[in-house]
Homo-oligomer: A and B are copies of this chain.
Amino acid sequence: MDASVSAVLAFDLPAWTAVQLERVEDALSKWVAPDAPAGLGDAMRYAVLDGGKRLRPLLVLAAAEAVSAQAPLRARTDEAALRSACAVELIHAYSLVHDDMPCMDNDVLRRGKPTVHVKFGEAQALLAGDALQALAFELLTPDDGCMSASVQAMLCRLLARAAGHDGMAGGQAIDLASVGVTLTEDQLRRMHRLKTGALLRASVLMGAACDERSAAREPGVVEALARYGDAVGLAFQVVDDILDVTTDTATLGKTAGKDAAAAKPTYVSLLGLDRAAAYATSLHAQALSALDASGLPERETQALRALAAMVVHRGK
């Protein structure tokens, strides 16, 4: 085994994750609207705090590390990465709040707890989701000089595109229109590239964009990180579909089997369990090979590599 491989294998993901999650949870607790009026802050905080794997924030922080190790402006990059990590999580959280509402998935359980609309009412859930989306962009545009305008603009650009009609919201519209419809594998892939993939990809690219040095913006690096993000995003969805049929509700923390019950197309319904698992493995390999092709030092991409493995092997 050569040194670089053993270095990757030796990478301690749980320890790294624990450090990063503490930063993210502290920041979210500080930034998510403690002073919002008339119960809105309570609903926003309930939707965001104390729950979730924080995969998107971890991808942001891992990507920022990958491009900026030994960077001279480390403190500024760190602040931008932490704000980006929280911003993508707020977009993710708002999408769950709105997704769970009666007019969408009508789900009453999320992370083992009542969903926001069950706890606070539908109107407050709608508003909390709306306010979380705005807050994401607010976090990316501080006026205290801790981030350059060019980084702020690029982060807002990446996040807005990933969240909107050509990203997450567009994917949800396709999902909505696909209930009871037989999709081809290409159509299913397109839906997931938008619905979950766009934000996971943006998480990686936002992390890289936090570093102001031009090296982090070389087309080759950005393109390789985008391919990594796409592969991880798709793998995430394939594994999600597998877990939906192989795990019970208590373990999953949300209602299991609901895709099948809703006659929604999934990778398992399309490919069967074995081929879906093989597809996840192949996407994992694609993610790693994209990092190999990025030209970034392997040592700096350890967290990204470990996160790809975690996505594919979670629930096992």
When A38-B177, A103-B122, A122-B103 are in contact, do A134 and B163 touch as well, CB less than 8 Å? yes
Please determine whether B131 and A37 come into contact, CB atoms closer than 8 angstroms: no
Q: Which residue of B33, B157, B194 is within 8 Å of A141 (Cβ)?
A: B157
Which residues from chain B contact A143 at a C-beta distance below 8 Å? 157
With A36-B173, A152-B153, A170-B36 in contact, is A165–B41 under 8 Å at CB?
A: yes
In the complex, the answer to whether B98 meets A130 with C-beta atoms within 8 Å is yes
- Residue A172 lies at the interface, judged by CB distance under 8 Å to chain B: yes
Number of identical protomers: 2
User: A294 an interface residue at 8 Å Cβ cutoff?
Assistant: no
Contacting pair A165 B44 (CB below 8 A): yes
Give Cα A297 to B157, complex, Å: 35
A124-B173, A135-B165, A138-B164 are known contacts; what are 11 more A-B pairs with Cβ within 8 Å? Answer: A33-B166, A38-B176, A38-B177, A40-B173, A103-B121, A103-B126, A104-B126, A134-B160, A134-B169, A137-B159, A138-B160
The answer to whether A40 and B141 have CB atoms under 8 Å apart is no
A41 and B127 alpha carbons, distance in the complex (Å): 22
Contacts of A37 in B (CB 8 A): 165, 170, 173-174, 194
Which of B38, B157, B159, B177 is close to A173, meaning CB atoms less than 8 Å apart? B38
Q: How far is the CA of A104 from the CA of B161 in the complex (A)?
A: 28
What are the interface flags for A224-257 relative to B under an 8 Å C-beta threshold, 1 for contact and 0 otherwise? 0000000000000000000000000000000000
- Interface: A66 (CB within 8 A): no
Q: Is the CB of A174 within 8 A of B38?
A: yes
In the complex, are the beta carbons of A140 and B126 less than 8 A apart?
no
Q: Is the CB of B173 within 8 A of A39?
A: yes
Q: Does A101 contact B (CB under 8 A)?
A: yes
> Which chain A residues numbered 206 to 236 have a C-beta less than 8 Å away from chain B?
none
Tell me whether B131 and A129 are in contact (CB under 8 A): no
Can you list, as one digit per residue, whether each of A185-215 has a CB less than 8 Å from chain B (1) or not (0)? 0000000001000000000000000000000
B residues near A36, Cβ cutoff 8 Å: 165-166, 170, 173
* Shortest distance between the CB of A113 and any CB in chain B (Å): 20
